[in-house]
Structure formats: structure tokens, C-alpha cells
Amino acid sequence: MTVQGSIKGALLAALLLFAGAGAKFAHAEMQGVSDDAIKIGMHTSQSGPIAVFGLTYERVARLVFDEVNAAGGINGRKIDLIVEDDRGDPGAGVAAATKLLDRDEVALIYGGPYTPVALAVFPRVIDRGVIYWSPAASTPTLTDPFRKLTFQAQMTLDDQAIPVAKLAASFSPSKIAFVRENNEYGTITHEAVVAELAKYDLKIDVEETIDPGAVSAVAQIAKIKEAGADVVLHGGTPKALSHIIREAHKQGLTAPMISFGGGSSDAIFELVSSEAPIEYYAVSPLACQLGDACTAEFMEKWTARYPDQKPLVWTAQGYAAAKLFVEGLRQAGRDLTQEGLIAAFETMPEFSTSEIPYPMKFKPDNHRAINGGYLDGFKNGEHYFFGDSIDN
Amino acid sequence: MLSQVLVNGVVIGCIYALIAVGFTMIYNATETVHFAVGESVMIGAYFLLTFWIVWDLPYLVALALTLLSAGAFGYAVYDRMVSRPLMSAGLLPRVVGLMGMAAIMKGLTRIIWGADAYHLPSALSTDPVRIGPIFIVPQEILIVVVTVAIIGLLFLFFQHTKLGTAMRATSQSRRAATLMGVNISVVFAATWVIGTILSAIGGVLLGPLLLVDPDMGELGIKSFTAAVLGGFGSLPGAIVGGILLGVSENLVAGYLRADWQNAATFVLMITVLAIRPTGLFGKPDKARV
């Protein structure tokens, strides 16, 4: 070997060593990533006031991730989903995220649906320089103002207020009542709907609140009826909503009721289509009624995996969001870093799924992937679905 | 609106009263503060849901099975597994044991039935009935009728049966009752069985007005409040406390603010206790000899 050849060999060896070290450094930069797995930490409400939503997002994440793993994983790595119960309680949510980050050393947090919990958890996650990726939380604060480390593949409450106000306005109401739950979710829905109603020169005339753990809504409905409201809007969760619906039916309140997404649950739809048949609508993120053609692929897979569990509209939305998440991971390539992953989500092309009406897309200055949604509901026992044109 | 609010307050108050009566009975006989009472309400609703809706049994058969299962649960779990082994350990270990049992029951419920909320239909018509300015559904009428009937039956049971008399004697003085030949083990077992059945009836009656989920037992704390308000250990106090609590909650929501409802409950309790530390019907503590 000549001197020149030796130098070339040494340079090549150094380069290879450097490249190897670089690759190792890149792996080391993102905790929770090993040669054959990526740990994803999820906090969700397996119990508490919105367990019905929390569980559905967990189940659908497992459905999608297990399918990906069965097909060989993403860029040679399996997804290792570690789930902690946030109990629908902000303190428990923070504890869950801390455990996921410190003990399980997950690569990122895949967030749960409950607004008060998401609001408490996400600042602590991004303060650690870790991505908070939410398929479920609808609070606009997650991505507005813009934050580099938060991603949201869910209709925000701002977006949900658009169809709520549009349908309310279509009734040409003389008085609008709003019942909000005593928590951040209720407050944000209230602010969002006030802003949207203003676009139709409408305002809320009757303001009522309800505790998420209330056992009756008799006083609220009596006051709304006495005030003569002809449309009732609702921002809250199913348990308290069931009292509102039962009381409205009992006291003969004929005003249509329109709820944000928190009112879209199987138990509520069962209630309004059977023993409390009031006119009721709730926001849906789907392109069609659940069970119709746009959700055929999802329904087939869901039924095969969870034959005893009825899906919600949010389950199908969670399915679309999980597919988007997987695609972003895939586009980030094998050398995963937080920066690389952020860039991959921001630059990935529009992602279309049959379940969601519009293509999903993150942008470098906007980390909300879903914009716009529809309404699903019941009137005289008939199921109605409102797409882009809302006309009662 | 006042009459509607008052009637609904009485309906909800009847449920609180029913659970508080079971709670008080258990305290009187066993000196145990039953912090799993809410979970007994929950299992009542879940048993009915399972027997009636899932297994598709006729309603009355499902109801009978629900009450039998609740009674068996009260005996096997509360009496034999928690209360009796800890009887000599003092009040605090029994309370902690029951709180632990409440957590286990919630956890098991999630494992068996899942955490989803279920709609438990009413066995009666759901069409509202109008009586003057008041709207009421048959299920609510049933709640009041059943509560009144149960309280009447309990009165007869305590006054006119041997077991009822033994239970009253035990609540006065366990030692004296033992000396008089009362079988304390039987009294304890009967108390847990009846107390758990009463709570389960609360769940059966309330289930169709709520969504059934593992957290529905949280209303147990309201019954505890009702029992304290009425005078801890007093059965008439538990009834009056429950109804007073239900009515005051609804009045606060109707005429003040709905978000003050829970706070008002405790303000009411503190006010009553400040004026009358033993509660409305409670008697001052006497040393038991």
C-alpha cells in the first residue's frame, strides 16, 4: 500500500467512524428509539368523566399500530405503545406523562382527548423538548399560538363552533341558550361559539352551567324553557348531557339542541333515538354518517378487532389520525430525531383518508391537520347527517 | 319553576335517603363508616344491566337476581372479607379497608364491563306526565313510591321482627346485646346484606336517569353528607338529610348558580353542624359500656 493509499484508507476509516458515531448520536438524540422499536407514550382517560372517548382513542391507536407492526413496522422499527390512565384529571395526566417520559423514556407523547388534561400536560412535555402529538384533544390552545412541538390531528373547538353556529343560525332563532360544563372544555366551547354566532349577528341570551358529575339538569332546563329559548347549544361531556336531554324531553322543551363533539357518543345517540326523542345534533369530524361508505374500511377492521365494542364517530377520526401519524413517522426515515420528525410532519404531502372530509395537512407554520367538520343528529327518531350544506 | 325544582329535589333526595339509610344501618350495627356505599349503588345498576339487557331476562327476574346478587355480595365481600376480619382492629382500618374495596370494585367493573357509559332503559314508560305545572316521568314517581315503601317496611322490620329488634339492640350496645343472647354475627351479616340491597335498589332506580359507568358510585359521598346532615346514626335523620340535600341542591341550581351546587351542599352541612353539631336528629355521643 502506498503512502497515498494509506492516507486515503485512514480518511475513509475516519469518515466511517464519524458517520457511525453520527448515526449513533442521532439515535441517542431521541430517547425511546432503539434499533428495532420506537416507544410511543400515550396518556388517555381509561377512567373518569370521558373514559368513553379515552378508551376509544386508545383502542383505535392499538388497532392501527398493531397492524403496522404486523406488516414489519416503520422503517424497520416496531411501535411500542405504552398507555397510562390520566383519569380525566389534569394532575393525574401530568403524573402519567412524567412517568412516560422519565421511567418509560418514550420518544414522544401521543395525547388523550380531555381538554383540561391536555392543557395541563402539553406544556410540561414540550418544555422537555419532546413532541406532543394529539389525535384527540380539541382545545385550540394546543396549536394556537403556533408551537413547534405540538401537533393536532383533531377538529379544534374553534372549528367545531363553525357548524354549530351555522346550524343554529339556520333556525333563525330569537333566543339562544347555551349550557356549558364547569371546566375548561365548557369555557372554550362558550368562547368559540360566541365568536362564531357573532358572524350571524346572533348572541347567547340564556347562559347556564352544569357540573360534569351532576345528577340532574332540572333547574337549567326549567330556566331555559321559562326564558323562551328556541335553540339550545351545549358544550360538555355525555354524562351531564344525558340529564340535559332527559330533562328537555320531560319538560317538553321543543327547541333543537346542538352539541359540540363531546355530545357525540353512542349512549347519547341511543337516548335521543329512544326514550328521550328530542331534536338533537352533535359535531362529527367524518365525511359521512358512521357506518356509511366513507367508514367501510375502518368499520371492517374495527369490528374484526373489537367485535363487542361499538365505535364512535371519534373512533373513526382517531383511526384517520393514527394513519396520519404513522405516515409522518415513515416519512421521517430511519434516522429519527425530534427535528427530523417535526420536519417530516411539516413537509409531508396532503394525506387523504376516506373517513375525513378534507385532506389532512400540517404546515411549517400551522400544526393543525384537520380543518372543518359536519353534524350528525336525530329528529323525530330519524338519523340526519349534514355535510357542507347545512339546511334544516 | 319552583314546583318543578322542588319535586325533582325530592326525587333525587329520595335516592340519597335510601342510600343514606343503608349507610346508617351499617354504621349503627357495626360501627363501620361504609365508604364503598357508592360502589354498591354502582353494582346494583350493573347487575340489572347485565341480567336484563345483556342476558335478556324478563325485568322482574333480572330485578330479583340483582337484589339477590347484591345481598350475596354484601355478605361475602363486605361482611366476610372486609368488616369481620377487621372488626377488632378499630374503626380506621375498617374504613381504609372499605375504601380499598371501593377502588377494587371500580377497577373490576372496568375490567368486566369496560369503562364505557351505558344507557340503562327504564322499565316504565318514558313519556312525561303533567300534573299542573309539574312534569314528571314514571321512573321518578317510582323512586318516591319505592323509597316510601322501603322506609315503611324497614320501620315494620325494626319494630316487629326478632332480627330487627336484635339489630336495634346491637346498635344500642353490642356487649349488652350479646349478654342478652343476640347472635352478633347474624346481626352483622343481616346488616351488610340489607344495607347493600338498599344501595343496589338506589342504583336500580337511579340507573335509568343517569348513564351507568364505573364512576357512578361517586354519588355515595352525597349520601354520606345526607347522613351527617341528618345526624350520624339516625335513620329518620338519614331520610330527612337526604331529601333536604336533594331539594337544596336543586334550589341552589335554580335560583343561585348551578356551579355553586356542590359548594352549597357543604355550606349547608357546615351551617347545620355549626348550629347543631350532632346534625338534625343526632344525639350527643354517649360512652358505650
The rounded distance, in Å, linking the Cα atoms of A320 and B242 is: 48
Residues A258-268 pLDDT 10s: 999 989 888 89
pLDDT band for A19, please (50, 70, 90 cuts): very low
Q: Of chain A residues 181-240, which have a CB less than 8 A from chain B?
A: 182, 208-211, 213-216, 218-220, 222-223, 226, 238-239
pLDDT at residue A67 greater than cutoff 90: yes
> How far does A275 lie from chain B, in Å, by closest CA?
6
Of A195, A190, A184, A191, residue with least CA distance to A208: A190
In CATH terms, the fold of domain A158-284+375-386 is Rossmann fold (3.40.50)
- Region B56-64: mean pLDDT is 96
pLDDT band at A26 (very low <50, low <70, confident <90, very high): very low
Q: Which residues of B are less than 8 Å from A214 in CB distance?
A: 258, 261
Decide if pLDDT at A16 tops 80: no
Partnered with residue A282 across adjacent β-strands are A259, A376
Q: What is the pLDDT of residue A388?
A: 66
Which residues from chain B sit within 8 angstroms of residue A271, using beta carbons?
Answer: 119
A89, A48 contact by CB (below 8 A): yes
Is A44 a residue whose pLDDT tops 70? yes
- DSSP-derived 3-state class of residue B181: coil
Chain A hits for B119, CB-CB cut-off 8 Å, are: 242, 267, 270-271, 274
Most B-contacting residue of A59, A250, A274 (CB-CB within 10 A), to test interface: A250
Position A8 scores a pLDDT of 55
B2-275 adopts what CATH topology?
A: ABC transporter involved in vitamin B12 uptake, BtuC (1.10.3470)
pLDDT at A174: 96
Q: What is the pLDDT of residue A9?
A: 54
Tell me the C-alpha to C-alpha distance, in Å, between residue A226 and each of A229, A252, B48, B224. Answer: 8, 12, 37, 34
Query: Over 50: is that where the pLDDT of A20 sits?
Result: no
Contacts of B1 in chain A (CB under 8 A): 219, 222-223, 226
Say which of A46, A49, A267 has its CB closest to residue B118: A267
pLDDT for residue A294? 94
Please judge whether B214 and A47 are an interchain contact, meaning their C-beta atoms are less than 8 angstroms apart: yes
Q: Do A219 and B122 touch (CB under 8 A)?
A: no
More confident residue, A77 or B263: A77
Portion 287-316 of A in contact with B at CB < 8 A: 309
Tell me which residue has cell 380543518. Answer: A371
pLDDT (tens digit, 9 = 90+) per residue, B89-148? 777 888 888 889 998 998 888 888 877 788 888 888 888 988 888 999 999 999 999 999
Contact A182 B259 (CB under 8 A): yes
From the CA of B240, how many Å to the nearest CA of chain A? 19
pLDDT at A371 over 80: no
Chain A residue at shortest CA distance from B212: A239
Mutual orientation of helices B220-230 and B235-255 as an angle, nearest 10°?
110
Question: Chain B residues contacting A, CB < 8 Å?
Answer: 1, 4-5, 8, 12, 106, 110, 114-119, 121-122, 126, 128, 130, 135-137, 206, 209-211, 213-215, 218-219, 222, 249-250, 253-255, 257-259, 261-262
**Which three cell numbers, joined as nine digits, stand for A214?**
351532576
- R_g (Cα) of chain B, nearest Å: 19
Residue B82 pLDDT class (50, 70, 90 cuts): confident
Q: Cα dist. A138→A155, A285, B136, B222 in Å?
A: 6, 11, 36, 32
Angstroms from B189 CA to nearest CA on chain A: 31
Chain B residues closer than 8 Å to A114 by CB: none
Q: Quick check: pTM over 0.90?
A: no
Q: Higher pLDDT residue, B16 or B83?
A: B16
Indicate whether A391 pLDDT > 80.
Answer: no
B138-143's contacts with Cβ under 8 Å and 24+ in sequence apart are B139/B205, B139/B208, B139/B209, B140/B7, B140/B8, B140/B11, B140/B209, B142/B205, B143/B11, B143/B14, B143/B15, B143/B205, B143/B206
Question: A280-284 and A374-379: which strand pairing?
Answer: antiparallel
- Structure confidence at residue A390 (pLDDT): 60
Q: Dig out the grid coordinates for A323 from the structure.
A: 394513519
B262 vs A90, residue with greater confidence:
A90
* Region of poorest pLDDT, from A83-92, A271-280, B175-184, B199-208: B175-184
Averaged pLDDT score across all residues of chain B? 87
Q: Could you tell me the pLDDT band of residue A389, with boundaries at 50, 70 and 90? A: low
Strands B118-119 and B129-131: unpaired
- Interchain contact, A219 vs B110, CB within 8 Å: no
Sign of CA dihedral B124, B125, B131, B136: positive
B-chain residues near A210 (CB < 8 A) = 258
Q: What is the CATH number of domain A37-155+292-361?
A: 3.40.50.2300
Distances (CA, A) of A197 to A194, A205, B200, B243: 5, 12, 46, 41
Mean pLDDT across the stretch B38-53? 94
State percent of chain A over pLDDT 90: 71
Residues ≥6 apart with Cβ < 8 Å to A120: A90, A91, A93, A94
- Over range A284-306, report the average pLDDT: 94
Return the residue in A47, A50, A58, A216 with the most chain B beta carbons within 10 A, the one to mutate for interface testing: A216
Q: What is the pLDDT of residue A23?
A: 41
Question: Which one has a higher pLDDT value, A92 or A239?
Answer: A92
Beta-carbon separation of B262 and A211 below 8 A: yes
One-character DSSP codes across A41-84 = EEEE-SSSTTHHHHHHHHHHHHHHHHHHHHTT-BTTBEEEEEEE
**CA-based end-to-end distance of chain B:** 52
* Fold match flag (A37-155+292-361 vs A158-284+375-386): yes
Q: What cell was used for B215?
A: 364512576
At residue A29, the pLDDT reads 63
pLDDT of A117 above 70: yes
- B-chain CB neighbours of A250 within 8 Å are 128, 135-137
A319 vs A302: CA distance, rounded Å: 9
How many residues does the structure list for chain B? Answer: 289
* Contact residues, chain A, for B12 at CB < 8 Å: 215-216
**B119 contacts A270? CB cut-off 8 A:** yes
Domain range annotation of chain A: 37-155+292-361, 158-284+375-386
Could you report the predicted ipTM of this complex, rounded to two decimals? 0.82
